[in-house]
Amino acid sequence: MAEPNQSTDAAVNQQASPEPVVYQDLSPTWRSVPWGKVLIWGTFLLAVYILRNFFFLIFMTFMLSYVIRSVVNAAIKRLSPEEENPWLERGLTLACFFGFFLLIFILGAFMAPTLVDQTQALMGRISRVNPQLEFTRMLNRTVGVYLFHRKYGREGSDEFDAGLQEFKESGKYGKGLYQHFPSLEATLESEFEAQYDSSEMRRLNVAITQGGKVAREFDEWFLEEKAPEIFSKHRNVYLNEWMAQFEGAEAARRLSNLRLKSDFVQRRDEEIRRRILEDIKRDEVTYNELVKEWELDTVHRRLKALRASKGYKEALRNFYEAQREQQPNVYSYTFDTFESLKEAYPKGQAEFRKVLQAQKDLDSKESAEAIQQDFERTAQAELANDWWTSDPTALSLQQHLRTDVNYVFEWMLEWVRQAARYIITVPIELGMALLLSFFITFDMPNLRKGAHRLRSSRIRHIYAEITPGLVAFARLIGRSFQAQGMISSCNAVLTFIGLWILGIDNAFFLSTIVFLFSFVPVIGIILSSVPIALMAVAQPDGSIWLALAAIVWICVIHFIETSMLNPKIVGNMLHLHPVFVIAILAIGERFFGIWGLLLGVPVAVYILRIVILDEPIPGIWEPARGAHAPETEAESSQLEPA
C-alpha cells in the first residue's frame, strides 16, 4: 500500500490551521505626517505672503541677478574653468552691468521719446472718448462694412456705381464726414498736445539739471504745493527738530526775541519748509519723482495757457499741415476748411454740409474721391443703424449690452490708462531692483561662502529641506523667463514690422504691449491682438479690413512662435498641453492676478514634473542629485544659474 503524500498532507494541515491574524497599529495618521517639513515650508510660504507687496521688486531683482550671473558664469567657464577667482567674477560683473546700462541708455535714447509721445497721444485721445459715439463708429466699421459690401459689392461693380450715383443726386454729401468728424478732431488735437507735452518735458528736464530760473521755479512750486502738505503730516517732528537748534542760554534768548515778533510763526514755518526742501533734494529717488510731477504740472499749466492764447491756432495749423502731408487721405482739406467745419459741427448736419460743399480747395479728382469716401461712410452708417434697430440678433444683443456697454468701455479705458502709466513708470521702479541685483551679483563669492556655512549651522535641517527644491524652482523660473524674454523680443519686432507696413497708428506702443503680453504663454500674443485690432478700426483711416489684416499677421507670428521659436528656445522645459496651460492661466489669474498669469505655468511645471512625477529637467533638476542638500562646495554652486 502506497505511502501517503506528506507534502499534500502538510498543505492540507496548513490550510486547516491558518496563521493568527496580526492586527496593524491603527495609530492616528497625524503621527506619520512630516510635521518638520510642514512647519518649514509653511513658514517660508508665510514669509512670501507677508512680502507680497514687494513681489515686483523681489522678482525683478532675482531676474536681473539671474541674467547677469548667467553671463558671468559663461565667461568664467572660458577664462578660468579650473580655479575660483573672486576678483575675476567681480570684474566681469562690473563689465556686465556697464554693458547693461549702456544698452538701456541706447534703447532709451532711441525708443523712449517715441514711446512717450505715442502713449501721451493715446491717453489724450482716450480722455476725449465718448463711449456711445465710439460704439456707433465701431459698429459702422464692422457690421456696416460687411453689409455694405454685401449690398453694393466692390468698387466698379454695377451695384456700387448705381449706389454712388444715387448718393450724388440725393445731396447727402457730407453726412458720412459729419459722423466721422469728432473722432478726426479728437485724434488731431490729442496728437498735437502729446507732441507739445513731450517737447516741453524734454526741455524742462534738460533745463532743471542746469539750475537757474527753471530750478528756482521748481523750488517755488515745492514750497507752495508740497512742503505745506508734508509739514502738516509730520508737524510735531519738524517743530521739535527746529526747536533743537535753540539749546543753550544764548540760543534760548535769541528764540525769546524771535517770539516777540509779529511774524514769528510765518518765518518759522517758512524756514521749516525750506529745510524740508533741502531734505528732499538729498533723497535722490523722491526728488526725481517730485521733479517729474512738477514737470507734468508745469506742462499742463502751459498747455492750458497756450489754448487760451492766439498762438495756439497757429501752432495747431503747422501741426495740421505736417499731418496732411503724411496722411493726405485723412486730412483732405486745408486747415481753414477744418476750422470752418469745426465751427459748423455744433450747429447741425445741414450747416456742416453747407460748409463742406462750399469749399474751394479741392480739384475735381480729389472731389470725386472725397464724395466716394463719404458715400461709403454714409451707407455703412445707415446699414449698421438699420441692422442694430431691426435685426433680431441685434435686438437680442441690445438686451445684454444695454446696461453693460458703458461699463465695458470704462473698464477697457481704465485698463489702457493703467497700462500706459505702468509702461511710463517702469524705469523708476526698476532702479531699486538694479541696485539690489548689483550688490548681490558683485558680492556673490561671499554670499556663496555664507550659504555654504549654513549647512553646519543650527538651521542646517531647514537648509537641507528647502535648498534643493528652492534652487530647482529658482532655476526653472529664471530659465523660463530668460527664454520667454527672447520670444517676447522676437514677437515685438515682428509685430512692429507688420504694423508699420499696414500703417496702423501707435505701432511702437502696441509693439510694447505685445512684448509685455508675450510673457504669458499661449494666450499672451492672442490677447495683445485685441488692442491692435481696436486701433486698426478706431484710427481715422481705419477699417475692419485693416483689423483683419493685423489679426492675420498676429496669427503668422503665433505660428512662428509655436513652430520655430518655442522648440528652439524653450525646448521641452515648459512643455504642457495648450488646454492645460489655459486652465492654469485661468486659475492663476483668478487667485493671484497678473502674477498668476506670469508664474502659473512655471509653478505648474515644477509641481507636476519635480514634486509629483520626479522627472528630470536637464540643467534644472536631476532626481538622483536633487533629493538631498548639497554636501560639497562644488554642489553649493547650484544656487547659481546653470
DSSP string, 324-346: HHH-TTTS-S-HHHHHHHHHHGG
Q: Give ∠ CA 164-169-175 in degrees, rounded to 5.
A: 70
Distance CA 223, CA 220 (A): 5
pLDDT score at 351 = 82
pLDDT in tens, 241-272: 888 877 777 777 877 887 788 888 888 888 88
Residue 630 has pLDDT above 60, yes or no: no
Distance CA 42, CA 494 (A): 44
Higher pLDDT, 15 or 519: 519
Provide the total of helices (H) and of strands (E) in the chain, helices listed first.
29, 0
Q: Residue 289 has which C-alpha cell?
A: 519723482
Higher pLDDT, 13 or 111: 111
Distance CA 177, CA 330 (A): 11
pLDDT score at 84 = 74
pLDDT score at 362 = 45
**What's the DSSP call for residue 244?**
G
pLDDT band for position 31 (cuts 50, 70, 90): low
pLDDT score at 638 = 42
Higher pLDDT, 228 or 213: 228
pLDDT score at 634 = 41
pLDDT band for position 218 (cuts 50, 70, 90): confident
pLDDT band for position 121 (cuts 50, 70, 90): low
- Average confidence score pLDDT of the chain: 76
- The SS3 call for residue 20 is coil
Residue range 135-159: mean pLDDT, rounded: 84
Q: Are 140 and 381 in contact (CB under 8 A)?
A: yes
**What's the DSSP call for residue 222?**
I
- List, in sequence order, every residue forming a beta bridge with 617; answer none if it has no partner: 621
- List, in sequence order, every residue forming a beta bridge with 621; answer none if it has no partner: 617
pLDDT score at 619 = 66
Q: Residue 344 has which C-alpha cell?
A: 459748423
**What's the DSSP call for residue 611?**
I
Residue type, 101: F
**CB atoms < 10 A from the CB of 186, how many?**
20
Q: What percent of the chain has pLDDT over 90?
A: 0
- Least-confidence region, from 39-48, 59-68, 313-322, 475-484: 39-48
pLDDT score at 23 = 44
Distance CA 482, CA 205 (A): 34
DSSP codes, 580-593: HHHHHHHHHHHHHT
Residue type, 109: A
**CB atoms < 10 A from the CB of 449, how many?**
12
Residue type, 244: A
Residue range 416-425: mean pLDDT, rounded: 60
Q: Which residues of 353-389 are buried (b: 16+ CB within 10 A; e: fewer)?
A: bebbeebeebeeeeeeebbebbbbbbbbbbbbeebbe
Burial tier of 64 (Cβ tally within 10 Å: 0-12, 13-18, 19+): buried
Domain ranges (residues) in the chain: 36-127+410-442, 167-363, 444-642
**What crossing angle do the helices spanning 364-390 and 145-152 adopt, rounded to 10°?**
110
**What's the DSSP call for residue 521?**
T
What is the value of pTM for the model shown?
A: 0.59
Q: What percent of the chain has pLDDT over 70?
A: 79
Distance (Å) of CA 137 to CA 129, 331, 377, 539: 12, 18, 10, 11
Higher pLDDT, 223 or 448: 223
- Considering 22-26, 45-49, 139-143, the range whose residues carry the highest mean pLDDT is 139-143
Residue 539 has pLDDT above 80, yes or no: no
Closest CA to 374 of 545, 145, 535, 167: 167
Residue 542 has pLDDT above 70, yes or no: yes
pLDDT band for position 407 (cuts 50, 70, 90): low
Q: Are 120 and 506 in contact (CB under 8 A)?
A: no
pLDDT score at 570 = 64
- Least-confidence region, from 37-41, 176-180, 215-219, 372-376: 37-41
Residue 17 has pLDDT above 70, yes or no: no
The half-sphere exposure of 299 on its side-chain side, counting CA atoms within 13 A, is 20
H helix or E strand, kind and range, residue 430: helix 405-442
Distance CA 255, CA 247 (A): 10
Q: Residue 24 has which C-alpha cell?
A: 496593524
- Least-confidence region, from 88-97, 189-198, 413-422, 433-442: 413-422
Phi, psi (rounded to 5 degrees) for 621:
-145, 125
Q: Are 508 and 296 in contact (CB under 8 A)?
A: no
Q: Are 478 and 66 in contact (CB under 8 A)?
A: yes
Q: Residue 362 has which C-alpha cell?
A: 479741392
pLDDT band for position 594 (cuts 50, 70, 90): confident
Higher pLDDT, 237 or 635: 237
Residue 26 has pLDDT above 50, yes or no: no
- Considering 361-370, 415-424, 461-470, the range whose residues carry the highest mean pLDDT is 461-470
Residue that is written with C-alpha cell 522645459 in the block: 573
pLDDT band for position 497 (cuts 50, 70, 90): very high
Residue that is written with C-alpha cell 515650508 in the block: 41
Residue range 15-34: mean pLDDT, rounded: 51
